[in-house]
């Protein structure tokens, strides 16, 4: 039995689909208010719970052989990015789980002090590595599926908001490719006990994204490019009103201020470990937007 957390998320629902296509037994950890109908329809066992509750994690882990942790944090890095994963790892040890897959983030090891999610991910990586469990840790750059709603807005307005340095490099990975690698990682030797940076096949500059949208929709982009200090000003004002939200915005600012890309060697390594040809952002968008 595979336990998948974040089963209604961008990565999680694709992982459940792939596992069910292979007719493997899956327990999908979902919240009561989540949209989980599709997962149920595909034959996943639905476990309703909240990852903030250790008793739910304890119950969900009963009888599982594989755990795939893909949940996000809703802005609460301590409870969800950190504590829920530590509890999942503890229960995985107790259950003698065969393999634990964790979705971290590219740059988790760079010591960004102002980014709670990055700090939590790094602490979980270290805990998992020391646990004695078999594991695979993926460190993705941005996911292509994040861009679908922006692309739809672009289709209507031709506008693209690009905050910060347009020359910063990024390697956006197809969310479908990542899900495939996640599923394969429990059985592929080259993924066992590895931390794998994950990106798409191209190193893009952030300003390339609106131009790719432009090509896909055959429209000239209108790029709105405010400098990063706009976010800093916004954070300062928010901090006076709501200090926790100001902290959460630290992760967002870190994402905007830095480069997140994989080297060509890292991508070649991924393609060889998983026997996969990674998809470009443009191909992903054309598939989903049918253009």
Ligand X SMILES: NC(=O)c1ccc[n+]([C@@H]2O[C@H](COP(=O)([O-])OP(=O)(O)OC[C@H]3O[C@@H](n4cnc5c(N)ncnc54)[C@H](OP(=O)(O)O)[C@@H]3O)[C@@H](O)[C@H]2O)c1
Would you tell me which residues interact with ligand X (CB under 6 A)? Answer: 6-12, 31, 34, 50-52, 70-72, 74, 80, 103, 105, 140, 142-143, 146
Nearer to ligand X, 235 or 254 (CB): 254
Classified as helix, coil or strand, 169 is strand
**Closest distance to ligand X from the beta carbon of 23 (Å):** 23
Nearer to ligand X, 114 or 239 (CB): 114
Which residue of the chain is nearest ligand X when measured via CB? 9
Nearer to ligand X, 58 or 158 (CB): 58
**Closest distance to ligand X from the beta carbon of 238 (Å):** 21
Nearer to ligand X, 140 or 250 (CB): 140
**Closest distance to ligand X from the beta carbon of 49 (Å):** 7
Sequence-separated (6 or more) residues with CB below 8 Å from residue 116: 77, 78, 81, 247, 248, 250, 251
**Closest distance to ligand X from the beta carbon of 106 (Å):** 7
Classified as helix, coil or strand, 50 is coil
**Closest distance to ligand X from the beta carbon of 277 (Å):** 21
Nearer to ligand X, 26 or 220 (CB): 26
**Closest distance to ligand X from the beta carbon of 232 (Å):** 22
Nearer to ligand X, 172 or 239 (CB): 172
Nearer to ligand X, 31 or 158 (CB): 31
The answer to whether residues 95 and 59 touch, using CB atoms and an 8 Å cutoff, is: no
Q: Cα torsion at 51, 57, 63, 68 (round to 10°)?
A: 40
With residue 99 as reference, give the H or E element that holds it: strand 99-103
**Closest distance to ligand X from the beta carbon of 220 (Å):** 27
Nearer to ligand X, 97 or 141 (CB): 141
**Closest distance to ligand X from the beta carbon of 236 (Å):** 25
The counts of H helices and E strands in the chain are: 12, 11
């Amino acid at each position: 039995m595979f336990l998948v957390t974040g089963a209604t998320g961008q990565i999680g629902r694709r992982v459940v689909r792939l596992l069910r296509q292979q007719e493997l037994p899956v327990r999908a950890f979902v919240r009561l208010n989540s949209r989980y109908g599709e997962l149920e329809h595909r034959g996943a066992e639905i476990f309703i719970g909240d990852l903030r509750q250790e008793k739910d994690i304890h119950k969900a882990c009963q009888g599982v052989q594989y755990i795939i942790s893909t949940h996000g944090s809703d802005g609460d890095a301590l409870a969800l990015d950190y504590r829920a994963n530590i509890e999942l790892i503890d229960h995985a040890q107790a259950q003698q789980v065969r393999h634990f897959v964790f979705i971290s983030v590219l740059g988790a090891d760079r010591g960004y002090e102002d980014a709670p999610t990055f700090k939590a991910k790094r602490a979980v990586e270290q805990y998992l590595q020391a646990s004695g469990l078999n594991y695979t840790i993926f460190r993705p750059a941005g996911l292509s599926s994040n861009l679908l709603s922006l692309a739809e807005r672009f289709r209507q307005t031709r506008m693209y908001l690009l905050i910060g340095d347009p020359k910063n490099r990024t390697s956006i990975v197809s969310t479908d490719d990542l899900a495939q690698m996640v599923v394969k990682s429990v059985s592929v030797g080259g993924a066992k006990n590895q931390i794998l940076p994950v990106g798409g096949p191209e190193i893009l500059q952030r300003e390339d994204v609106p131009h790719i949208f432009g090509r896909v929709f055959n429209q000239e982009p209108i790029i709105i490019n405010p400098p990063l200090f706009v976010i800093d000003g916004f954070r300062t004002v928010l901090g006076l009103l709501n200090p926790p939200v100001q902290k959460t915005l630290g992760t967002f600012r870190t994402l905007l201020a830095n480069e997140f890309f994989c080297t060509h060697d890292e991508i070649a390594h991924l393609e060889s470990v998983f026997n996969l040809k990674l998809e470009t952002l443009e191909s992903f968008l054309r598939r989903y937007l049918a253009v």
